[in-house]
Amino acid sequence: MTERLDADGPCPVRDGFSWPAEWAPHARTWMCWPCRIEVWGGPDGILRARQAYARVARAISTFEPVSMAVRPHDAAEARLATAAKVDLFEVPLDDSWARDQGPTFLRGPAGGRAAVQWRFNAWGNKYHPYAEDALLATRIAKSVDARVYDAPLVCEGGAIHTDGEGTLITTEQCLLNVNRNPDLTQQDVEERLALFTGARRILWLGEGFSDDETDGHIDNIACFVSPGRVLVGLQPSKDHPDYEPAREVVRRLKAARDAEGRSIEVVEIEQPRVTRRDRGGRILQASYVNFYLPNGGVVMPAFDDANDEKAREAIAACFPERDILQIDALDIVEGGGGIHCITQQEPASP
């Protein structure tokens, strides 16, 4: 049965909060130390993942503070691997994708901060247990004295992206999936997104992507690089199953207008030339779009691919005033996500 929204119930928009763009100033970055061994294929895989997460954390720490959520018995290892360059937040964890498990932080009146606790069901009940991860957003938010809003919507942070001016992008493949919100219509989902992020226009960018781990998270497909400007990753080979879905994203964006009534400029970036597969034979979801924007910088992936430098130049052109750090991300992608997936920004106070 569809849960009705209480017209008088607490929600961020009614209280003056909205979701700022990722390029707005941060107080810190949140990450989670890898802990679910099955995601990485065993002890060797999780060791490589932890080393990769540590590289990302150390890189971000050159731009802004990093807080790492970590299970208490993993704290010593995390401290050593990150060279004590991050603050540790000891807390129960089931998995390690801060973008999806963590809070969506909001800014409000007089610079106040709040956070959305989405309903988390481990990407459509793909992993168990996930009870601790379903509480992580609230635990993080309370640790920084941010007000918590419980949203009546199954959603992950990687499923949505904003320009900070009222436009939100997402995919039908994820948020309208029967494993997320089977009792909600598209209008129901839009209403909840609007009330809990401040979105005034939601652009739906399709389905049919090969990413069945997250069911088409937008942060692997497209992202705003400034208001009115969206970067889209295109597959170079027509044989790739995402070749046509990504081009449909371009078509939809070019036909759309944002919340301010502007037409949208599409910046195209070519994804890795080599299509790799994970240990289970699935296409490895390597995407240059899956980068992160710490204060004054861009931390983006490299995949030991001929297109790595070309992608670096394209993203540098989108952010000419930021320093670019490119980090080998193959060991992260093996677990089903990328650099953006393992990070979550906390906005700065004025």
pLDDT, residue 1, reads: 42
Q: Which residues are catalytic?
A: 341
Q: How many CA atoms lie within 13 A of 68 on its CB side?
A: 30
pLDDT, residue 110, reads: 86
Burial 191-202 (b: 16+ CB within 10 A, else e): bbbbbbbbbebb
- Assess if residue 1 is contained within a domain: no
Q: What is the CATH number of the domain that holds 260?
A: 3.75.10.10
223 vs 256: CA distance, rounded Å:
15
- DSSP assignment, residue 6? P
- Assess if residue 37 is contained within a domain: yes
123 vs 158: CA distance, rounded Å:
11
345 vs 104: CA distance, rounded Å:
8
- Assess if residue 135 is contained within a domain: yes
- Assess if residue 199 is contained within a domain: yes
Q: Torsion over CA of 182, 289, 79 and 156, rounded to 10 degrees? A: -10
- Assess if residue 198 is contained within a domain: yes
Would you say 153 and 184 are in contact if contact means Cβ atoms under 8 Å apart?
yes
For residue 71, the enclosing domain spans: 18-347
53 vs 106: CA distance, rounded Å:
25
Residue listed under structure tokens 């970067």: 231
Domain count along the chain: 1
- Assess if residue 11 is contained within a domain: no
What string of pLDDT tens digits covers the 350 residues of the chain? 456 666 577 899 999 999 999 999 999 999 999 999 999 999 999 999 999 999 999 999 999 999 999 999 999 999 999 999 999 999 999 999 999 999 999 999 888 999 999 999 999 999 999 999 999 999 999 999 999 999 999 999 999 999 999 999 999 999 999 999 999 999 999 999 999 999 999 999 999 999 999 999 999 999 999 999 999 999 999 999 999 999 999 999 999 999 999 999 999 999 999 999 988 899 999 999 999 999 999 999 999 999 999 999 999 999 999 999 999 999 999 999 999 999 999 999 87
- Assess if residue 9 is contained within a domain: no
Phi, psi values for residue 59, rounded to 5°: -65, -45
- Assess if residue 13 is contained within a domain: no
**Its pTM surpasses 0.95:** yes
